[in-house]
């Protein structure tokens, strides 16, 4: 070797340039090799990559490099999920254009990724904000529209009356717009929808075939799709109410526990009452300030307005239930009315408690607990029916079936399968997104933009100084002639939900023709993605939408594929302790309070087990170990680590210790230990001696066993196990005497670490005396001799009176008699016996000899 120490500062950049110059990781569509498509979820270009990104991409990178070494043609691309609100926020706050802000961030993050040496095919790089990409997305959207999978209808939205814009549910905080602070209103707007419900059954049944997905992800999707069998029926009205109120219940077995009926603020009964009742109108206005999602409705305070109306219980004409307008019922969900069963639904329990309504137990573990009081909350578990007349003693499923059967026989209800899944509303009143390719004409109605006019490109000259969607008030962009009749018309000013952008990008990575979204023949060669890697936070929406788009495109004949991702891995987060102290905060009114101030790891130093603000004697408290977060300032900049220790040290740290599906606690001691191991390997590689002779059968056997095991670990994404095996083989090789087998072991270790520490591996590959030549990135995975995978020696423990006194290394299968003789001949055993007579010798072949005295 040319130096006693590996210098990552020079080696990293040199080998990264070599890979770029040779286009080493460029995938070849014409290759005859077996194919592997390895993909990590592409990042949003927020400005800088973080440690979580590094862990995610290191895992995918090791797998991609390993697949190349075993002879596969590998597609491992990178791109940018580049549309979205943060860019518009930057435009409003910093006076920059969203496009410029986004592209600057992409340049910064791309440089960071390159600095880590990832084996990415940059020739296929894409950004969803490029017209080349979103124009093809517009074409696909029009194809789905032509197939009847896109439609437009009126829908409830969160409306900020100050910013004059629709807000995502996450942007509504305590009922107010996150930026303006104005009370958010519920409004009805015409919105574009994708008909995902048409594929609900397929999306649900398809989960059964995804046996290489985490079970928890499949369960989350199953619950989100939410198939259930229930009863749809109507409560008969009592005067002055004139019309029956239709409800749907997934728990018709609890019908004898009903104590009220709740209707949405937009329900026809509520609207009719509001026309003549000022209090009802005021309550409905209050409801419009609440959220619009099921999750928000679950957590909001349950509020109701007693309409004064009553309905009849379907099984008892003398039993009446009050009708309330309630803020937790939405017209868009089901019938816009629900049967309230407080004993067995927490939402109903909270409502009944607030308004003094009956709470009756109708499901209990056993009949003896029929009258047991509730302990402050609803009970949703299984059991038998109680206090339910003809249903008493039945199980839940039996009772459901009987209620449905009686309702259908009597003609007042119908069994029905329903889905929690709703059609996907994709309209966003935003500038920085894909323009929806339609034109509104007073003569022709809503008209699709002809494909020859695509892409519909966003205008650059937009103004963010006024609240609302800049596209809606643009002086020229939205004014176009109707594509059908030619009269003046206006463009659709809504843009697509950014989840649409990430619902098909994996297809565009595989094939990028200029005249269409993709070539189906090329897509068929690469898809499905062999290994998809990303965070559990995307387990529902992104993955469900990607599965839907794939099925929808197959439905209209564009691809022959139903599931996009054959195998899914959700990695754990990188965590770090927090550093904090309390400080006094004085409000505008002069009042004071204590608030927590956080400090970044770069701004603290340790002394005698304590943490201080760097350069001061001000002590800090070490807080919880949590996910790295800018708000808690417990983030570590990857660039700083690379500058200090090199790319390979941080890559090795990401693979060490913690199983990849679990959280990885960051520690300075850990990264420093990884940096030391990089140098330790460098010193080992320096002992490569091509002229060495002689054998070391034990080391040869361990080498081949390690190659076999590490390959299996990488295939299973058990990187921490692979790392542990490499540590073990390295230690054994360091201790071994010079031999040809030791030289081969060093050569093998070099190949084993090549996917994990590629810069170190290339540097050593170029300098040790090897006839292989070329780049180690192009080298083959070490071959395994099957004969050496079988141990022909075993270590047998020898105990005297139950205590370990010696070990024997013997041929596998040594007889009981020989093991007994060898054990009794041991000097250590004789010392332990100290002249005592041997009463019995117990022998477990290949494992244990126990001498009883």
The predicted-structure confidence for 355-410, as pLDDT tens digits, reads as follows 999 999 999 999 999 999 999 999 998 999 999 999 999 999 999 999 999 999 99
Q: How confident is the model at residue 820 (pLDDT cuts 50, 70, 90)?
A: very high
- Residue 824, pLDDT score: 92
Classify residue 825 as exposed, middle or buried by CB count within 10 Å of its CB (0-12, 13-18, 19+): exposed
- Length of the chain (residues): 853
Q: What string of DSSP letters covers 788-809?
A: GGS-SEEEEEEEETTEEEEEEE
Convert 406-443 into a string of H (helix), E (strand) and C (coil).
HHHHHCCEEEEEEECCCCEECEECCCCCCECCEEEECC
pLDDT in tens, 631-655: 888 888 899 999 999 999 999 999 9
Closest among 508, 501, 513 to 82, alpha carbons compared: 501
Average pLDDT of the segment spanning 156-162: 83
- Residue 299, pLDDT score: 64
Q: What is the dihedral of CA 691, 692, 698, 701, to 10 degrees?
A: 0
Average pLDDT of the segment spanning 834-839: 88
Cross-strand bridge partners of residue 599: 579
Q: Angle CA(338)–CA(339)–CA(344) in degrees, nearest 5?
A: 115
Strands 495-496 and 488-491: unpaired
- For residues 340 and 344, what is the distance between their CA atoms, to the nearest angstrom? 9
- Asked whether the predicted pLDDT for residue 295 surpasses 60, the reply is no
- Residue 444, pLDDT score: 97
pLDDT in tens, 19-35: 999 999 999 999 999 99
- Asked whether the predicted pLDDT for residue 296 surpasses 80, the reply is no
Q: Can you list the domains of the chain with their CATH numbers?
A: 149-221+425-494 (2.170.220.10), 227-419 (3.90.740.10), 689-789 (1.10.730.10), 793-852 (3.10.20.590)
- Asked whether the predicted pLDDT for residue 289 surpasses 70, the reply is yes
Cβ 215 vs Cβ 293: under 8 Å: no
- Asked whether the predicted pLDDT for residue 40 surpasses 90, the reply is yes
Q: What is the dihedral of CA 293, 297, 300, 302, to 10 degrees?
A: 150
Average pLDDT of the segment spanning 418-444: 94
- Residue 155, pLDDT score: 85
- Asked whether the predicted pLDDT for residue 91 surpasses 90, the reply is no
Which of these ranges, 83-92, 225-234, 314-323, 770-779, has the smallest mean pLDDT?
A: 770-779
- Residue 817, pLDDT score: 92
Cross-strand bridge partners of residue 75: 37
Average pLDDT of the segment spanning 181-199: 90
Cβ 119 vs Cβ 482: under 8 Å: no
Tokens coding 640: 């700083």
Average pLDDT of the segment spanning 707-716: 97
Where would I find the H helices in 504-659? 505-510, 520-526, 541-555, 638-645, 647-655
Closest among 587, 612, 608, 583 to 597, alpha carbons compared: 583
Closest among 272, 277, 227, 226 to 245, alpha carbons compared: 272
- Asked whether the predicted pLDDT for residue 733 surpasses 90, the reply is yes
Cβ 329 vs Cβ 337: under 8 Å: yes
- For residues 53 and 57, what is the distance between their CA atoms, to the nearest angstrom? 6
- Asked whether the predicted pLDDT for residue 298 surpasses 70, the reply is no
- Residue 674, pLDDT score: 96
Q: How confident is the model at residue 772 (pLDDT cuts 50, 70, 90)?
A: low
- Residue 350, pLDDT score: 95
- Asked whether the predicted pLDDT for residue 245 surpasses 70, the reply is yes
Q: How confident is the model at residue 183 (pLDDT cuts 50, 70, 90)?
A: confident
- Asked whether the predicted pLDDT for residue 771 surpasses 60, the reply is no
818 contact partners, CB below 8 Å, separation of at least 6? 810
- For residues 218 and 540, what is the distance between their CA atoms, to the nearest angstrom? 9
- For residues 710 and 724, what is the distance between their CA atoms, to the nearest angstrom? 9
378 contact partners, CB below 8 Å, separation of at least 6? 342, 343, 344, 345, 346, 348, 349
- Residue 440, pLDDT score: 98
- Asked whether the predicted pLDDT for residue 503 surpasses 80, the reply is yes
- Asked whether the predicted pLDDT for residue 160 surpasses 90, the reply is no
Average pLDDT of the segment spanning 614-639: 87
Cβ 719 vs Cβ 713: under 8 Å: yes
Average pLDDT of the segment spanning 740-749: 97
Q: Angle CA(764)–CA(765)–CA(768) in degrees, nearest 5?
A: 70
Helices 131-146 & 541-555 angle (0-180, nearest 10): 60
- For residues 307 and 286, what is the distance between their CA atoms, to the nearest angstrom? 16
- Asked whether the predicted pLDDT for residue 206 surpasses 60, the reply is yes
- Asked whether the predicted pLDDT for residue 290 surpasses 70, the reply is no
- φ/ψ of 839, rounded to 5, equals -85, -40
Closest among 490, 465, 487 to 478, alpha carbons compared: 490
Closest among 722, 749, 724 to 734, alpha carbons compared: 749
Average pLDDT of the segment spanning 761-779: 84
Question: What integer best gives the mean pLDDT of the chain?
Answer: 93
């Amino acid at each position: 070797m040319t130096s006693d120490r590996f210098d990552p500062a020079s080696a990293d950049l040199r080998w990264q340039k070599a890979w770029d110059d040779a286009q080493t990781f460029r995938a070849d569509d014409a290759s005859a090799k077996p194919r592997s498509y390895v993909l990590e979820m592409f990042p949003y270009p927020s400005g800088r990559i973080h440690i979580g990104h590094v862990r995610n991409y290191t895992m995918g990178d090791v797998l991609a490099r390993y697949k190349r070494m075993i002879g596969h043609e590998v597609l491992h691309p990178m791109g940018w999920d580049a549309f979205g609100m943060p860019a518009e926020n930057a435009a409003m706050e910093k006076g920059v254009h969203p496009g410029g802000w986004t592209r600057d961030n992409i340049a910064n993050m791309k440089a960071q990724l390159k600095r880590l040496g990832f084996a990415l095919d940059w020739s296929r790089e894409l950004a969803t904000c490029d017209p080349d990409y979103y124009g093809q997305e517009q074409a696909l959207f029009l194809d789905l529209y032509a197939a009847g999978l896109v439609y437009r209808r009126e829908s409830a939205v969160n409306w900020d009356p100050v910013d004059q814009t629709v807000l995502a549910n996450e942007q509504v905080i305590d009922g107010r717009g996150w930026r303006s602070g104005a009370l958010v209103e519920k409004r009805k707007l015409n919105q574009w929808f994708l008909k995902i419900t048409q594929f609900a059954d397929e999306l649900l049944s398809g989960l059964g075939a995804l046996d290489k997905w985490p079970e928890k992800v499949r369960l989350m999707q199953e619950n989100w799709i939410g198939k259930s069998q229930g009863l749809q029926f109507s409560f008969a009205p009592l005067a002055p109410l004139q019309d029956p109120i239709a409800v749907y219940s997934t728990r018709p077995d609890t019908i004898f526990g009903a104590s009220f009926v709740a209707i949405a603020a937009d329900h026809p009964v509520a609207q009719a009452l509001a026309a003549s009742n000022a209090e009802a109108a005021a309550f409905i206005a209050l409801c419009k300030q609440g959220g619009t999602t099921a999750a928000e409705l679950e957590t909001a305070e349950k509020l109701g307005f007693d309409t004064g109306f009553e309905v009849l219980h379907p099984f008892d004409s003398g039993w009446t239930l009050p009708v309330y307008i309630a803020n937790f019922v939405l017209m868009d969900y089901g019938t816009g009315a629900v049967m309230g069963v407080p004993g067995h639904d927490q939402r109903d329990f909270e409502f009944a408690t607030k308004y003094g309504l009956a709470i009756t137990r109708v499901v209990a573990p056993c009949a003896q607990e029929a009258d047991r009081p509730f302990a402050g909350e609803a009970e949703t578990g299984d059991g038998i029916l109680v206090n339910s007349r003809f249903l008493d003693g039945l199980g839940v499923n039996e009772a459901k079936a009987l209620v449905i059967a009686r309702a259908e026989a009597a003609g007042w209800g119908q069994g029905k399968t329903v889905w929690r899944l709703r059609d996907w509303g994709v309209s966003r009143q935003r500038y920085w997104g894909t323009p929806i390719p339609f034109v509104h004409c007073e003569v022709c109605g809503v008209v699709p933009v002809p494909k020859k006019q695509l892409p519909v490109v966003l205008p650059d000259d937009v103004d963010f100084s006024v609240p609302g969607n800049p596209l809606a008030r643009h002086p020229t962009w939205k004014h176009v002639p109707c594509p059908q009749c030619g009269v003046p018309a206006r463009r659709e000013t809504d843009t697509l939900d950014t989840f649409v952008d990430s619902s098909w990008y994996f297809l565009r990575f595989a094939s990028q023709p200029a005249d269409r979204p993709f070539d189906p023949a090329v897509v068929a060669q690469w898809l499905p993605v062999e290994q998809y890697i990303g965070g559990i936070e995307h387990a529902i929406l992104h993955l469900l939408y990607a599965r839907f788009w794939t099925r929808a495109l197959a439905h209209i004949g564009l691809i022959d594929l139903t599931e996009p991702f054959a195998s899914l891995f959700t990695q754990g987060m990188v965590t770090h302790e927090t550093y904090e102290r309390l400080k006094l905060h004085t409000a505008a009114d002069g009042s004071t309070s204590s608030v927590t101030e956080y400090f970044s790891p770069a701004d603290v130093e340790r002394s005698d087990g304590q943490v201080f603000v760097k350069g001061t004697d001000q002590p800090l408290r070490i807080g919880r170990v949590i996910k790295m977060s800018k708000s808690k300032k417990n983030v570590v900049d990857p660039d700083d680590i690379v500058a200090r220790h090199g790319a390979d040290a941080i890559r090795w740290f990401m693979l060490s210790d913690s199983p990849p599906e679990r959280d990885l606690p960051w520690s300075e001691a850990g990264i420093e230990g990884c940096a030391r191991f990089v140098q330790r390997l460098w010193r080992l590689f320096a002992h490569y001696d091509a002229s060495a002779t002689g054998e070391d059968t034990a080391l040869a056997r361990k080498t081949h066993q390690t190659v076999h095991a590490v390959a299996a670990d990488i295939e299973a994404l058990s990187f921490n196990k692979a790392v542990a095996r490499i540590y073990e083989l390295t230690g054994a090789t360091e201790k071994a005497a010079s031999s040809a087998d030791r030289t081969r072991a060093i050569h093998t270790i070099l190949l084993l670490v090549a996917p994990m520490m590629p810069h170190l591996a290339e540097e050593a590959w170029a300098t040790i005396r090897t006839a292989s030549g070329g780049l180690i990135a192009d080298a083959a995975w070490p071959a395994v001799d099957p004969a050496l995978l079988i141990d022909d020696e075993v270590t047998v423990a020898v105990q005297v009176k139950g205590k370990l006194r010696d070990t024997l290394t013997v041929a596998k299968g040594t007889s009981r008699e020989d093991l007994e003789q060898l054990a009794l001949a041991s000097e250590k055993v004789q010392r332990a016996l100290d002249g005592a007579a041997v009463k019995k010798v117990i022998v477990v072949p290949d494992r244990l000899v126990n001498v009883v005295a």
